[in-house]
Structure 1
Amino acid sequence: MTTSVHPVASNYWVIVPAAGSGKRMGAEIPKQYLPLNGKPIIAHTLENILSWPGLEGVIVAIAADDCEFSSIAAAQDPRVFTVIGGAERAQSVLAALDYLSARENPATPVLVHDAARPLVALDDIQKLLAAAPMALLAQPASDTIKQSQPGEGGSTVVRQTLPRDQIWLAQTPQKAPLGLLRDTLMRGLENDPLAITDEASALEQAGYHPELVAACRSNFKITHPADLILAEALLRHRAGELSAGKNV
């Protein structure tokens, strides 16, 4: 993590890939549309994004057969646009980047944010906007990290313990200039698509080293049913803090 000072990004765009099915949640509907405190998860995420300072617009990549998104109140905001996404996250992000490339300067800052991370804190967004042109929110590892290997009888055993002070858990948003991100993502998908698990991995594959910006634990991705319970509790807590006049 660096401590250098950079101009705060403004007039930036946010891309939200939301064309996936969220299979690990085990639900009958795509994960982003599961109810969270009375609204779909993605509705909370979009309302959060639309409150960020300096925002120019949001592009949501949805599935071709998506009939739900247009019914969300935040989808009616004039700053929200949609494109048809792909089967994989990287394909959805690239579709949104293609849309933006026809309309914006290649140097335009772009933030890519997961539809299922509704609880990212404004303080962390402000830190990310003030970070290097290529940067991502991440959580320094606090647990001991074990690398695994196959064991006997189909079991999994410890191979070694990894140095915890070098391990970060990647979050979103992840930030990069529009043209650079589009080019590196396209090359990454051509060269080694399985290695492109997020935007930073495409930048890394091209030889870049995005800045790590430490973020709050509350910026977790809703992936399993238990995550919904935690997210609901945190939303209620934040609502209480706001009613008490505190910044959250």
Structure 2
Amino acid sequence: MRARALWAVVAAAGGGERFGSDLPKQYQVLHGRSVLGWSLQAVRGAAPLQGLALVLAPGDEHWRALDEPALAGVIACRGGTTRQASVANGLAALGEAGAGTDDLVLVHDAARPCVRTADIRRLIERAGDSPDGGLLAAPVRDTLKRAAGEQVQATVPRGGLWQAFTPQLFPFDRLRRALAAAAEQPVTDEAEAMERAGARPRLVEGAVDNIKLTYASDLALAAAILAAREAGAEEAP
């Protein structure tokens, strides 16, 4: 029987309009290297990969100029007009490279450079045997308010609420089919596509410093997180 292989898709096709820079956020310099380089390094360092698809915006050639060892051997492919289309294109590229229906695939946002490799390993260990897959997440800790314009409408009970992160891990063919079924209905992450297909992905708690870079000011926070880890000052999740 063929061994179950692990593959990865790193989504780097976003334009980053809210970031406020002509250079996409995945190519910004962060603590001595590119944002994309940090993200690729974390994913590749978690476990041996059979292959990694890097999903890029049409016409994006910035990645070719990067001096990043983690880019070696990536399968570059073009993103789509939506997130699920981009990830679906990445899965198609992995399928052409030999990914099997029962294999596993990690999907990670390039804009999450602070993810901990140890968290990715824990995700693989805890969700790798689940037919519904799983995702890194953390219980919501802050008080949540539902708004009407700029006024509070209600306080939302946070019990049972989790903040979703990436990577997310799913069986290759189940994710491919879930994304295809959701092609006409936008989803915010792969887990939502799987949920619509009837799956109940496993929540695997990860560190809350797995932040997503959305605004230019987020770079300073990400740099502080990475610098603290380098100095051995990181806190446990």
TM over 0.5: yes
In the TM superposition, 1:4-83 aligns within 5 A as 11-72=5-66, 73-74=68-69, 76-78=71-73, 80-83=74-77
Q: Is the 8 A contact 2:5 2:103 kept in 1?
A: yes
Larger deviation: 175-184 or 85-94? 85-94
For residue 232 of structure 2, what is the amino acid of its counterpart? E
Q: Is the 8 A contact 2:43 2:120 kept in 1?
A: no
Residue 204 of structure 2 is aligned to residue 213 of structure 1 = yes
Q: Is the 8 A contact 2:104 2:169 kept in 1?
A: yes
Q: Find the counterpart in structure 1 of residue 159 from structure 2.
A: 165
For residue 188 of structure 1, what is the amino acid of its counterpart? A
TM-score by structure 2 length?
0.89
Given the alignment, which residue of 236, 243, 246 partners 2:227? 236
Given the alignment, which residue of 88, 94, 116 partners 1:94? 88
Q: Find the counterpart in structure 2 of residue 122 from structure 1.
A: 117
Question: 2 CA distance for matches of 1:203 and 1:136?
Answer: 11
Question: 2 CA distance for matches of 1:226 and 1:90?
Answer: 27
3-state SS in 1 of match to 2:168: strand
Question: 1 CA distance for matches of 2:84 and 2:120?
Answer: 22
Q: Is the 8 A contact 1:69 1:75 kept in 2?
A: no
Q: Find the counterpart in structure 1 of residue 217 from structure 2.
A: 226
| Equivalent residue pairs, number | 228
Question: 2 CA distance for matches of 1:208 and 1:147?
Answer: 28
Q: Is the 8 A contact 2:10 2:109 kept in 1?
A: yes
Alpha-carbon shift at residue 76 of structure 1 (Å): 4.3
**Of the two, which has the highest radius of gyration?**
1
After TM superposition, the runs of 4+ consecutive aligned structure 1 residues lying more than 6 A away are none
Deviation per CA, 1:67-93: give whole Å up to 9, x if none: 111222235423x21111113221110
Alpha-carbon shift at residue 10 of structure 1 (Å): 6.7
3-state SS in 1 of match to 2:222: helix
Larger deviation: 29-38 or 108-117? 29-38
User: Taking every aligned residue pair, what percent have the same amino acid on both sides?
Assistant: 38
Deviation per CA, 1:116-164: give whole Å up to 9, x if none: 1111112211210012331000111000111223xxxxx4322222221
Larger deviation: 27-36 or 155-164? 155-164
Question: 1 CA distance for matches of 2:200 and 2:71?
Answer: 37
Alpha-carbon shift at residue 226 of structure 1 (Å): 2.0
Q: Find the counterpart in structure 2 of residue 179 from structure 1.
A: 173
For residue 112 of structure 1, what is the amino acid of its counterpart? V
In the TM superposition, 1:123-138 aligns within 5 A as 123-132=118-127, 133=130, 134-138=133-137
Q: Is the 8 A contact 1:10 1:55 kept in 2?
A: no
Deviation per CA, 1:189-218: give whole Å up to 9, x if none: 13x23xx11100101111111111111011
Q: Find the counterpart in structure 1 of residue 102 from structure 2.
A: 107
TM-score by structure 1 length?
0.85
Q: CA RMSD in A?
A: 2.2
